[in-house]
Structure 1
Amino acid sequence: MLARVRSGALMGIDAVVVECEVDMALGLPYFNVVGLPEGAVRESKVRVVSALKNCGFELPSKRITVNLAPADIRKEGAAFELPIALGVLAAAKLLAEEPLGRFLFGGELSLDGGVKPIKGVLPLAVAARDGGYHGVMVPEANAAEAALVEGLEVLAVRHLRDAVGHLSGDKPLSAFLREPPGRGRASAHPAPLDLCDVRGQADLKTALELAAAGGHNVLLCGPPGSGKTMLARRLPGILPTMTFDEALEVTKIYSVLGLLGDTQSLMRERPFRAPHHTISDAGLVGGGPATRPGELSLAHHGVLFLDELPEFRRNVLEVLRQPMEEGAIHLARASQHVTYPCRVMLVAAMNPCPCGYFNVPGRTCTCTENRVHDYHSRVSGPLLDRIDITLQTRPVEFHHMGRGGTTEPSSAHYRERVEAARERQRRRFQDEPGVYCNAQMPTRLLHRHCQSTPRAEQMLERAVRRFGLSARAHDRILKLALTRADLEGHARIEDIDMALAIDCRQMDRRGWLHVNTQGGPPRALPAFREPGDP
């Protein structure tokens, strides 16, 4: 007797429908699983047989063959145990096959028949909706995750007997009640850090506000203790709330890795990932034997913070170049080819030299000039060209550190302005799928949306010629100027917007790494000005 049950196999962050064909024929008792199964899938036959026996089902002494089709896709994990067990019962005439065709099934079985949670339930539910299935039957712990997909009946099961009782009609299960998209369980994460904790550095806070408003990449270079890491870790507190589509994309990635908490079904906060500089290239962008997402994809629609940027290995940093441009990482392996999304805000921090005190007033640098240049050469020009905002930080002055300092604006102040700017961008790109902010705007839309005043265009032309900027830098300055216009409510890019956008790319200027040989405080990098400006 042959029975068929449908489940799903993960391919990247999506699921492919897998047909579990169970054949029960005469012969010596044997249980075999084929169809490119990996170790955990091959071991599932032991748990399936034990779970069926402990639930009171008597299996005939026959040869059982399970085929997981399509056979050219690698099957991983324990999610196939529930569908295999139901297929065995259907093949043994202990369960009708007709109800099995309306659902996709997934779940790991314990030896007593309990159904344990699995990874990748959200992609499984999406595959069921796209495939026209009536619903999914998943472990109770994963039901809220599957219920994020609308138009789908979600059946939550605790035990194998619950699944059999519903499919046989003896004890029907009630569909899991989904929560409205705007609601959900409270996140277990602590309240975000507030920018009011950072004393001084008003220009850097303005730059972070600009970055948050348009989703732009940032590089902060300055001495130790100047607030680089402190500012970066408070950036999520001023980022706008994710839309439901953005949250669903992020949740799929975390679902594939099994990183969703017990009290959280939908990722509502933008992720913030800060990997250590000893990370490998596979750990950063994804890959490995199982082709799993890396830190870059885990920061999708959020912030990827690389502290001590030059300390990362050169090959690790260089693999960021193409994903930063495309917003996706393509991983090709012998057995599969997967694509993971990775639209992130890259925020990096670095010291001006290995000792950290190059050209810092009141401190003595112990590095030679060659060491300083070698240190900065670890960050390649092509990678630096993909960063929209590059700024030098300064040591915090004493009057800002004292208790009598003025009250600093809170993150709520900046977030309100950022939300207003993002709302303008949502209206601007409402007909462009996958584009949520100015930094993600493709080149074909630049001339349509980046309308500048004649004086602003002249300023950009002069800056490109004066600093030798690339075409990519030209486009990124335009996007940055458009974000500044969105923040201030300008109908088009004004000259003040363009000037600020050019000033935010300080490391594009020749000689910015200037050694002050005259003594005294270093000369401040001059802001970009037109001839005749006051």
Structure 2
Amino acid sequence: MQAKVRTVAFQGVEVLPVDVQVMIAPGTVAFAVVGLADKAVGESRERVRAALRALGLALPPQRITVNLSPADLAKEGSHYDLPIALGLLVAMGVLTKESVGGFVVLGELALDGTLTRVPGVLPAAIAAAATGRGIICPSACGGEAAWGGFRPTDDERRAVLAAPTLLSLINHLRGQQTLAAPQALMAEDTVSYPDLAEIKGQETAKRVLEVAAAGGHNLLMMGPPGSGKSMLAARLPGLLPPLEPEEALEATMIRSLAGEGGDGRLSRRRAFRDPHHSATLQALVGGGLRVRPGEVSLAHHGVLFLDELPEFSRAALEALRQPLETGRVTIARAAAHVTYPARFQLITAMNPCRCGHLAEPGRSCGRAPRCGVDYQAKLSGPLLDRIDLCIDVPRVDAADLALPPPAESSADVAARVAAARTVQRERLAAFEKKAPLPEIEPEPSAGLLSERARSWSKPRCNADTDGAVLAAIAEPDAEGRALLTRAAERLGLSARAWHRTLRVARTLADLDGSNAVRRLHIAEALSYRRAESRPALAA
């Protein structure tokens, strides 16, 4: 007998359909899995056999062939266990073809027949709903699958079946039991962020942190050890507004592909990723033997904090240049090109030199100024050109430490940031309504979620704007343009630096409640650009 069950394969965020074809025929007793399957898929034979035995079922003493079609598409992961098991049950006559024909099936089987969590259920559910199918998955992934876009009016064959065990799923499909429908729930944001009021002194750094939060700008903080750089970065998530529903869905989809789906609840909290400086290139941008999203994608619509920036490998840092510009990262392999979204805010911190005391009063650097030159030379000009805000964070004086805590808290700053972000969102929505952005043509090999790639490049704050959008919203007044022109000539600003200065100036105007970008905003934005030759190195 033959049977066919629909499942999926993942290439980045693309969900590609896969048919699990099962045939039981006379011949030598065997259980073969073909179709370019990796080791995890090949091992499903033992898990399926043990799970069926736990139910009191035995495989027929015949030749069993499982073909994963299309055969030239690489199959990875353990989520093929359940579709293979259901295909065998249909071929054995335990289930009917109609009972599983309208579903996309994912799930890993334990030896006792329990269904365990698998990654990628949310994008698979979105793809299934787009094609008018339901989805069968483990109960641990039910809340995640419920966000796939299924409507309450959909019939049972277009719904989410989340089963705790293979036995309960069989009973449901045979009409002997009813599985409860999973609920699409929002996560309660109970995380308590450190308060900005705990930091004494560093008023300039606090101002720049507010500007970075308001416009989504990249930030570099340079200062001696103990000056508060990491403390400032840790308080940034408490200043950022919650994710919009579309942003939350995209961020959760990436976490689902990485196996970090949690309890399946959709969270509106922005990610804050802070990898150690020993992280490899693959860990930062994605890749590996089995391609997985990296830190830049896991920080999608959130913050990527790189402490001790020059200690990261040069190759890993240079790999950030493309995602910072395009908002996505493409991992090229011989078999396929995998693309992940990566619209993140880069926050970095570093010491001025290896010992950290370059040009610091009361301390000496034994190799100054060569120590600072060599240390800062680890950062390339093109990478620094992509950072909008660069500030020095000096050591806090004892007099500042003795003062009482500042009166302004993170909640006060977050209110101003939220107001500025609301203005930006409304402005960009009005501009897009008047002049819709050109659509991104999907690649010829794109899967069921290719249309979502269009939203990755959609500007959501000032830091994302470019081209005609930036020219329309950030055109300075006559005095501001004259100042920017003179500064560009004297400082040798690149075209990228010119545009990034305009973005920062637009954010400063939003924080001031000004519709126009004035000379004052241009001057402050220019003060945050990194000078080509720092005074500390000129000594």
TM-score (norm 1): 0.92
- The residue identity in structure 2 corresponding to 1:492 is A
Q: Work out the CA distance in 1 between the residues paired with 2:327 and 2:312.
A: 21
Percent identity of paired positions between Structure 1 and Structure 2: 46
The letter for the 1-side match of 2:290 is A
Structure 1 segment 369-388 matched on structure 2, within 5 A:
369-388=369-388
What residue identity is the alignment partner of 1:369?
P
* Cα displacement string for residues 52-105 of structure 1 (whole angstroms, at most 9, x for unaligned residues): 222123443221111111222211121111111111111122211012121111
Partner-residue secondary structure (3-state), 2:315 = helix
Check the 8 A contact 1:211/1:217 in 2, yes or no: yes
- Quote the residue 1:170 is aligned against: 176
1:144 paired to 2:154: no
In structure 2, distance between residues paired with 1:395 and 1:221: 11
Mapping of residues 261-272 of structure 1, within 5 Å: 261-262=262-263, 265-272=265-272
Partner of 2:445: none
Give the C-alpha shift of residue 410 in structure 1. Answer: 0.8
| Deviation of the 1:228 alpha carbon | 0.9
Contact 2:239 2:417 in 1 (8 A): yes
Give the corresponding residue for 2:422.
423
- Residue of structure 1 in register with 2:531 after alignment: 508
8 Å CA contact 1:223–1:352 kept in 2: the answer is yes
The separation in 2 between residues aligned to 1:22 and 1:193, in whole angstroms, is 55
Kindly state the Cα deviation for residue 514 of structure 1 after the two structures are TM-superposed. 4.5
Aligned to 2:226: 225
Distance (whole Å) between structure 2 residues aligned to residue 503 and residue 229 of structure 1: 22
Separation in structure 2 between the aligned mates of residue 498 and residue 207 of structure 1, nearest angstrom: 14
1:257 and 2:258 equivalent?
yes
Given that 1:469 and 1:508 are in contact with CA atoms closer than 8 Å, whether structure 2 keeps it comes out as no
**Separation of aligned partners in 2, 1:177 and 1:198:** 42
2:241 aligned residue: 240
Alpha-carbon distance in 1 for matches of 2:392, 2:482: 26
Using the alignment, how far apart are the partners of 2:270 and 2:14 within structure 1? 21
**Where in structure 2 are the equivalents of 1:79-478 lying within 5 Å?**
79-133=79-133, 135-151=134-150, 153-179=159-185, 184-187=186-189, 190-262=191-263, 265-402=265-402, 404-405=403-404, 407-430=406-429, 431=432, 433=455, 434-478=458-502
Q: Single out whichever of 234-243 and 112-121 deviates more from structure 2.
A: 112-121
Q: Runs of 5+ in structure 2 lacking a partner? A: 152-158, 438-454
CA contact (8 A) 2:198 2:406 kept: no
Q: Cα deviations across residues 165-222 of structure 1 (Å, max 9, x unaligned)?
A: 222222233322333xxxx2435x6411111111011111110111111110000111
Q: What is the distance in 2 between the residues matched to 1:142 and 1:112?
A: 19
Deviation of residue 406 (structure 1)?
Answer: 5.1
Question: How many residues of Structure 1 are paired with residues of Structure 2 in the alignment?
Answer: 507
Distance in 1, matches of 2:14 and 2:192, equals: 32
Say which SS state the counterpart of residue 418 (structure 1) adopts: helix
> Once the 2 structures are TM-superposed, how far is the Cα of residue 298 of structure 1 from its aligned partner?
1.4
CA distance in 2, matches of 1:27, 1:406: 81
| Contact 1:328 1:343 (C-alpha < 8 Å) held by counterparts | yes
Partner of 2:447: none
1:28-52 C-alpha deviation (Å, 9 max, x unpaired): 2211111111111101111112212
Quote how far apart the aligned CAs of 1:267 are: 3.1
What SS class does the counterpart of residue 420 from structure 1 fall into? Answer: helix
Output the CA distance in 2 between the equivalents of 1:492 and 1:103. Answer: 54
Over 3 Å counting, the alpha-carbon distance change for 1:278 and 1:185 in structure 2 is closer
Q: Following the alignment from structure 1 to structure 2, what is the Cα–Cα distance between the partners of residues 12 and 372? A: 40
RMSD: 1.6
Range 357-366 or range 474-483, more displaced: 357-366
For 2:459 and 2:335, locate their aligned partners in 1 and report how far apart those are by CA, in whole Å.
31
Distance 2:405 2:323 in 1: 42
The verdict on how the C-alpha distance between 1:378 and 1:78 changes in structure 2, with shifts beyond 3 A counting, is: same
Q: 2 CA distance for matches of 1:8 and 1:357?
A: 55
TM-superposed CA distance for 1:492, in Å, is 1.5
AA matched with 2:135: V
- CA offset at residue 276 of structure 1? 1.5
For 1:18, what is the secondary structure of its paired residue?
A: strand
DSSP-derived class of the 1:481 partner: helix
Q: 1:380, 1:17 → 2: CA distance?
A: 42
Deviates more, 1:418-427 or 1:470-479: 418-427
Q: Contact conserved, 2:321 with 2:386, CA < 8 A, in 1?
A: yes
Task: Give the Cα separation in 2 of the matches to 1:394 and 1:379.
Answer: 21
Give the whole-Å Cα distance in 1 for the aligned partners of 2:206 and 2:115: 50
Matched AA of 2:496: R
1:479 aligns with 2:503: yes
Q: CA deviation at 1:392?
A: 0.9
The whole-number CA distance in structure 1 between the counterparts of 2:482 and 2:503 is 16
What is the DSSP-based 3-state SS (H/G/I as helix, E as strand, rest coil) of the residue aligned with 1:355? Answer: coil
Choose the corresponding residue for 1:496, options 520, 531, 535: 520
Q: Given that residues 83 and 106 in structure 2 are in contact (C-alpha distance below 8 angstroms), is that contact kept between their aligned partners in structure 1?
A: yes
Which residue matches 1:530? none
- Partner Cα separation in structure 2 for residue 212 and residue 406 of structure 1: 22
Shift of the 369–174 alpha-carbon distance from structure 1 to 2, 3 Å rule, reads: closer
Measure, in 1, the Cα distance between the counterparts of 2:486 and 2:176.
79
1:35 to 2:35 alignment: yes
SS at match of 1:305: strand
Contact 1:480 1:501 in 2 (8 A): yes
Q: What is the rounded CA distance, in whole Å, between the counterparts of 1:238 and 1:39 in structure 2? A: 45
What corresponds to 1:528 in structure 2?
none
Measured after TM superposition, the shift of residue 129 of structure 1 is: 1.4
| Alignment-mate amino acid for residue 397 of structure 2 | E
Find the counterpart in structure 2 of residue 53 from structure 1.
Answer: 53
Q: Which moved more, 1:49-58 or 1:475-484?
A: 49-58
* Contact 1:399-1:405 within 8 A present in 2 as well: no
Q: Secondary structure at the match of 1:33?
A: strand
Q: How many Å apart are 1:440 and its aligned residue?
A: 1.0
Cα deviations across residues 489-534 of structure 1 (Å, max 9, x unaligned)? Answer: 11111111111111111x2344544545xxxxxxxxxxxxxxxxxx
AA paired with 1:208?
Answer: L
Contact 1:354 1:367 in 2 (8 A): no
Mean Cα deviation higher: 280-289 or 362-371:
362-371
Give per-residue Cα distances to partners, 1:267-287, cap 9 Å, x unaligned. 321111111112211111111
| Structure-2 separation of matches of 1:177 and 1:300 | 25
* Inter-partner Cα distance in structure 2 for 1:406 and 1:313: 38
Using the TM superposition, name which of 411-420 and 486-495 deviates more: 486-495
Tell me the amino acid that sits aligned with residue 254 of structure 1: R
Q: Match for residue 525 of structure 1?
A: none
| 1:114-146, Cα deviation, whole Å (9 max, x unpaired) | 11111111111111012221x211111110111
Secondary structure (helix, strand or coil) at the match of 1:10 reads strand
Q: Secondary structure at the match of 2:237?
A: helix
- 1 CA distance for matches of 2:218 and 2:496? 13
Asked whether the equivalents of residues 303 and 345 of structure 2 are also in contact (C-alpha less than 8 Å), the reply is yes
The 4+ residue runs of structure 1 with deviation greater than 4 A are none
